[in-house]
Structure 1
Amino acid sequence: MNNIEVSVRVGDWQAFKADAMPIREAVFVVEQGVPLDEEVDEMDELCLHAVAYDGQNNAVATGRLLPDGHIGRMAVHLHARKQHVGSAVLSALVSEARKRGHPLAILHAQVHATNFYVRHGFIAEGGEFLEADIPHVKMTMRLDPVA
């Protein structure tokens, strides 16, 4: 499968809600059965959001960076998976965490996605736990300060 060209933009919830929510609903609510009221939370307003757009300016992936350096809500549209789109979003969020001076990037990875995060330098810590009835594992990556 060929990689699709994407551009990743970052900003606040007001700027990206209209593009990020349809992706999150498709992936988390429809595909994975997470109740909408668990998917949407008050943290969205406080987070930095990243959205990847394809060559036709269609939003194809999203993720968010919480104020404490946690990365979450990583979601890629089904048709854009396995094309390095998620990698582009993750890289943008890690870069932003580094710029903000966070010593660690932390995330709760769905167990089936741990290899994706390992390939990007994250290390699993501890055992599995459930979030929204889906097995997860805590993963971290040490961030070197921006010179």
Structure 2
Amino acid sequence: MSYKVNNVNWRRETDYIEEIKEVRNKVFICEHRIPETEEFDNNDINCEHVLVRNEDDKAVATGRICENGKISRIAVLMKYRNTNAAQKVIQQLLSIAHRKGINQVTIDAELDNVSYFTNQGFKPVGGVYMETGLPKQTLSCSVNSFVCPHGILH
């Protein structure tokens, strides 16, 4: 499946913001039952966002990266979770980090997803903790670990 990936500035591209909110609402608020006040925090305006669209130009995935290299809010609509949509989000976020000179990125992964990220070169940092009722693990990785052939993330 082919995707179009857009970088989104929260302050300037309001059309994309509504689509990002829609994807995150479906995944985090409806599916995971995360309170809206926790999902849409004050960090959105300070982050660079990625929006992935399918061949019908429908928003299917999103994610963000903060100035400190923290990757978060990766959301993929259920129908697209067995595709490479998440890979597109992560690759673009890592590209943004590389462009900004961020050498180390972190992600707070749900415990069920830790092995996915460790297979991509991330390493656990600290212990498992609970956030919004979900067990999570902070993982860290050098951005340079991702300067590799296309398809390394799956």
Give the TM-score taking structure 1 as reference length: 0.91
1:43 matched to 2:43: yes
SS in 2 for 1:49: strand
Q: How does 1:128-139 map to 2 (within 5 A)?
A: 128-139=128-139
Q: CA deviation at 1:6?
A: 0.9
Q: How does 1:1-147 map to 2 (within 5 A)?
A: 4-14=1-11, 15=13, 16-144=16-144
Structure 2 gaps of 5+ residues are 148-154
SS at match of 1:120: coil
Q: Give, in angstroms, the shift of residue 84 of structure 1.
A: 1.1
1:144 to partner: Cα distance:
3.0
Local SS of the residue matching 1:144: helix
CA distances 1:105-138 after superposition (whole Å, capped 9, x unpaired): 1110111111222232212222211111111100
Aligned residues: percent identity? Answer: 27
The runs of at least 4 consecutive aligned structure 1 residues that moved more than 4 Å come to: none
Measure the CA separation in 2 of the matches of 1:99 and 1:29: 31
Q: Tell me the alpha carbon deviations over residues 28-54 of structure 1, each in whole angstroms, 9 at most, x when there is no partner.
A: 111001000110111101110001100
Size of the aligned set, in residue pairs, is 143
The separation in 2 between residues aligned to 1:131 and 1:13, in whole angstroms, is 25
Letter in 2 for 1:126: G
Alignment RMSD: 1.5
CA distance in 1, matches of 2:2, 2:75: 17
SS of residue paired to 2:25: helix
